[in-house]
Amino acid sequence: MDKDKDKIDIYLDFNVLNLLAKEHVKDSDPLYNEWMALKTIWRAYQEGRIRLVTSGEDTEMDIIMWLNNQGCCVTDVLTPLESIEEFARWDRSDSDLIRYWRRVFFYFEQTELLSRVFEDTEGLFEDLQSTFSFSLVTPKFHIDLSYNEQDTRKILRECAGIFADIFPEQNWQDLRHIDYSLNWRVFELALKNLKIEPTLSGDEGERNRRLFGLLNRFIGLSKKSYKKPPMDNGHRDFIIDMVIKKYYQTQQDRGLRHIFHCICNDIGFFVTPDHNLIRVFNEKKQLLNEHPEFSSKRLELVLPSELKKRVKDL
């Protein structure tokens, strides 16, 4: 008899990994009970009493987007962990933050990854989008402070005007590595030119880290597509448009993609500390019955603390 068949399958998202990776959560924090419940859930997983699963493809992409918002750029040249190590070599990097990032990847790599990749050949995901109208659902890690789009474009254009003064030709031709020190020099000069403090502390620091992540993407794409700076304005704005579209604007279907994985794999529980995602799903769950492909599914979205109460193996 296959003992794994008797285990309950529980799907988790990036928000769970992010919370698990925190070394300390104050008992006054609204997420404290969820953090404690997750520790219990993870212990049950380690002891083989439950299965914790996630989408390798989509959860890794969520992590990559989250890292980008903090200034660490993950490209197709290096693995995410290699990219973190490269960022760690920058003299302005925060060693505590680096350890935190590594812990997120530790939990991700310890979680069982679903073999089925995201594909919507039959239009089921489009049906799910139509059913839920997920315009209100935003992954927690995207609700960060940021410059508005107009200011973001202005700052990136200012950065582009400095490329030729900062980058030696040899460095510009290096497409494999990110020189965070040189990129920061560009960023710092551009902010100072625009009378903005180039700090990494507080709310302004959070805003600057996200913008620095966009700049790293902008520089990487510029290196790949332009022999040497300065770029002409048309090409510069074309690259900025690409960066804004992929990395600045909120990807509102991220939570829904994870729900889609659960439905396609007939998973009963999706655990997440994202109250908003749970709320929208529960409000519109009954609409699934209108779709034969979804009506027989048993999916429930629950907080970690609720899951701990309901599953006897925990």
CB 191 within 8 A of CB 155: yes
How many Å apart are CA 135 and CA 119, to the nearest integer?
Answer: 21
Residue among 143, 182, 147, 184 at smallest CA distance from 166: 182
What's the pLDDT score for residue 137?
46
Walk me through the domains of the chain, giving residue ranges and CATH numbers. 8-139+251-310 (3.40.50.1010), 149-248 (no CATH)
Phi, psi of 291 (to 5 degrees): -115, 115
What does the pLDDT average to over 38-43?
96
Chain centroid to CA 14: 7
First to last CA, the chain: 22
pTM higher than 0.95: no
| Residue 259 CB partners (closer than 8 Å, separation 6+) | 128, 132, 270, 281, 299, 301
Token pair, residue 82, equals 């290699």
User: Could you give the CA distance from residue 259 to residue 13 in angstroms, rounded to a whole number?
Assistant: 10
SS3 state at 51: strand
The whole-angstrom separation of Cα 78 and Cα 97 is: 20
- pLDDT, one tens digit per residue, over 130-157 is 777 654 444 444 444 568 889 999 999 9
Mean pLDDT of all residues belonging to the chain: 87
